Chain A
Amino acid sequence: MAAGGFVSVNTGNAKDANNILIPKDDADAAFNAAACIGCGACVAACKNASAMLFVSAKVSQLALLPQGKIEAKNRVLNMVKQMDEEGFGNCTNTGACEAECPKEISLENIARMNREYLY
């Protein structure tokens, strides 16, 4: 998280909340990704001990919202780098993470993160 799972905004001086309009579907999708409770089941379930579902849920939440778009590229690069450095394994798309997630976080988030990473 410290590697970029945030929007770089200091306290105070934020614009009126309704100045940023967000389509309901995007807000709902961001919320569904943000529902992750960080329990670690996805990593524990993965034969590669990959943390892709966890990281992608945060990357997705912020990539779906205009507030998060500005830093989207750096965020995904830094968070993936951090994940690799901490020794988590690679994702081979087995889907075990999604199957065991108590909050039913979707594999789509991994796809979205890969897209953010590549483009």
Chain B
Amino acid sequence: MSHGNMNLTLKVWKQKNKNERGRFETYQAKGISPDMSFLEMFDVVNESLINEGKEPIAFDHDCREGICGMCSMYINGRPHGPKEGITTCQLHMRSFKDGDTIVVEPWRSAAFPVIKDLVVDIF
């Protein structure tokens, strides 16, 4: 199902668990609307991965309104992405352009080991 006109390339950190080595995987995000939040874009990608019989990308999220503090992601080299003063869940796709490549990593810190993909152990 198409939602909008943006097509993006994602390079996302995939790691099975804390013991195995991770690597970047490339995904195509198609038919993205600028009104989607960054996490809703991930929902679209995951839905198509599930439909293709592949494993979705694991990420932490809950409130999706910028207050619970769970959506930990490094986006294009910055925590919570390119915009100041907001969390990943508040970042909307209108901050990106059609054709962009977006690199998504878990929190980069030895203090926060990866549990799976983008999910880290903070506490």
Contacts and interface: CB of A to CB of B under 8 A. Distances in A.
Chain B interface helix/strand/loop/mixed: loop
A69 interface: no
A53 B97 CA distance: 33
B49 interface: no
Given A37-B69, A100-B79, A100-B80, A44 B87 contact: no
A38 B71 CA distance: 11
Contacts of A86: 111
A117 interface: no
A44 B86 contact: no
Q: How large is the interface on B (under 10, 10 to 19, 20 to 34, 35 or more residues)?
A: 20 to 34
B57 to A, nearest CB: 18
A91 to B, nearest CB: 14
Given A40-B112, A43-B111, A44-B72, A103 B85 contact: yes
B66 A102 contact: yes
A65 interface: no
B99 to A, nearest CB: 26
Contacts of A102: 66, 79-80, 85-87, 90
Q: How large is the interface on A (under 10, 10 to 19, 20 to 34, 35 or more residues)?
A: 10 to 19
B79 A44 contact: yes
Nearest to A41: B79
A45 to B, nearest CB: 5
Contacts of A88: 111
Most buried by B among A88, A102, A104: A102
A114 to B, nearest CB: 21
A61 to B, nearest CB: 16
A43 B69 CA distance: 13
A29 interface: no
B72 to A, nearest CB: 6
Contacts of A52: none
B69 A44 contact: no
Nearest to B123: A38
B67 A37 contact: yes
Interface of A: 37-41, 43-46, 49, 51, 86-88, 100, 102-104
